[in-house]
Amino acid sequence: MYWGRAVSRRIAIVEDEAAIRENYADVLRKQGYEVQTYSNRLDAMTAFNLRLPNLAIIDIGLESEIDGGFTLCQDLRSLSDTLPIIFLTARDNDFDTVSGLRMGADDYLTKDISLPHLSARIAALFRRSDVLDQPTSPENLVERGKLTLDIGRLTVQWNSVAVPLTVTEFWMVHALAKFTGHVKSRQVLMQESKIFVDGSTITSHIKRIRKKFMLVDSRFDCIETVYGMGYRWNLEG
């Protein structure tokens, strides 16, 4: 099965379970990507120090290192500020998700994500990398008060200041702000950001989004929790 066209890009997969590693690699190679695979952090970093991939997919537990993927993410981020990094792991608790994103990952996905959705997330990160240095196209802008979303570049600004959101967070904000004042349930937010997690993980994403906006504007309060229903984006007063 084919889920989209891929130009020649180098993707590194760091996963200690051989069957899972080769399954992902096979799917991505069929889409036209060049894929290198590694089973542990040290082998991966040896290769990365010689040549960085265009995108890295990392598991957290790597052979004898329970949190080896976290260390690898930090090491990779020290080599490049812009390299797209995805955690793809069976560990779906809030602590690991928050830790992974704080260490500089662009996205945190669990292994129950479908292969088409994984492919879409990879394509979205490549698209963002491609267009970051290109001029903004007016038709791609969504403006709601102080908020500006660029759906072409997958970037967010608040009062003209960049807010560093992951791809998941970007699409959640887009889902909320597209129709201001409308309540979006956790299920809808999952669908629109193409992730499949439990409600508490959505709550954690919303908390992180709020914190990131508040780092830019301490008075930010546009995301309202509507108890028992979901979340709503309100225009600032």
> How much is the pLDDT for 195?
61
Mean pLDDT in order along the chain per 10 residues (237 residues): 58 95 94 96 96 95 92 90 85 71 77 85 79 71 93 88 84 91 89 65 84 94 94 86
> How much is the pLDDT for 134?
66
Q: Taking the alpha carbons of 132, 135, 140, 146 in that order, is the dihedral positive or negative?
A: positive
> How much is the pLDDT for 237?
58
Phi (first) and psi of residue 16, to 5 degrees: -85, -10
> How much is the pLDDT for 108?
82
Residue of 216, 76, 209 lying closest to 146 (CA atoms): 216
> How much is the pLDDT for 210?
94
Domains of the chain with bracketed CATH: 10-130 (3.40.50.2300), 138-233 (1.10.10.10)
User: Where do the H-state alpha helices sit in 137-198?
Assistant: 167-178, 186-193
> How much is the pLDDT for 2?
40
Residue of 75, 24, 20, 66 lying closest to 48 (CA atoms): 75
| pTM beyond 0.85 | no
